[in-house]
Amino acid sequence: MKFKEIIELLPYQKPFLFVDELIEISENGISGNYTFQKNESFYEGHFKDNPITPGVILTETMAQIGVVCLGIYLLKDKISSEKKPKIALTSNQIDFFLPVLPNEKVTVISEKEYFRFSKLKCKVKMFNDKNELICRGTIAGMIIAK
């Protein structure tokens, strides 16, 4: 399955799609990136005169790249444009270390902990262009082909 096909199978669209490109993928993990454009709607009120990407959006970005894209890849033999994946976040625990500003590009690296009974759990990390750790943690979700 090609990277572009995985992104096209995501159940998101702008303005809630936080995947620009996938860099690497295997049965054990994935990496990809996203650039937060300065005109993203959430910057208007977070924070006044000092926009910072909300932690919930950083978590969503890590989930989209690190869990959902990987899950689509792992289910590649069961998913198609007619049989799209059903996805639900089940848990997350994220520690934040640095802010993400408008126009900043981030890279997400995810390592599969396990995938069984339709539950995928991954260790995820997010880095900036200087390769500084922005946040890290675990995210789990249910992914099935229906």
Maximum separation of any 2 CA atoms in the chain, in Å:
48
Sheet strand arrangement including 85-96: 21-26, 29-36, 104-116, 119-127, 133-145, 85-96
Q: What is the pLDDT of residue 7?
A: 95
Q: Which of 5, 29, 46, 52 is catalytic?
A: 46
Set out the domains of the chain in order of their start, with CATH numbers: 3-145 (3.10.129.10)
pLDDT tens readout for residues 70-81: 999 999 888 877
Q: What is the pLDDT of residue 62?
A: 98
pLDDT tens readout for residues 4-20: 999 999 999 999 999 99
Quick one: average pLDDT of 30-52?
93
Quick one: average pLDDT of 44-62?
93
Structure pTM?
Answer: 0.95
Q: What is the pLDDT of residue 146?
A: 75
Residue 71 designated active-site? no
Decide which of 95 and 81 is more confident: 95
**Average pLDDT, rounded, for the chain:** 94
* Token pair of 15 as six digits: 């303005």
Give the H or E element holding residue 116.
strand 104-116
Ranking 24-33, 79-88, 117-126 by mean pLDDT, the lowest is 79-88
Quick one: average pLDDT of 36-62?
94
φ, ψ for residue 65, nearest 5 deg: -80, -50
CA separation for the pair 40, 111 (Å, rounded): 28
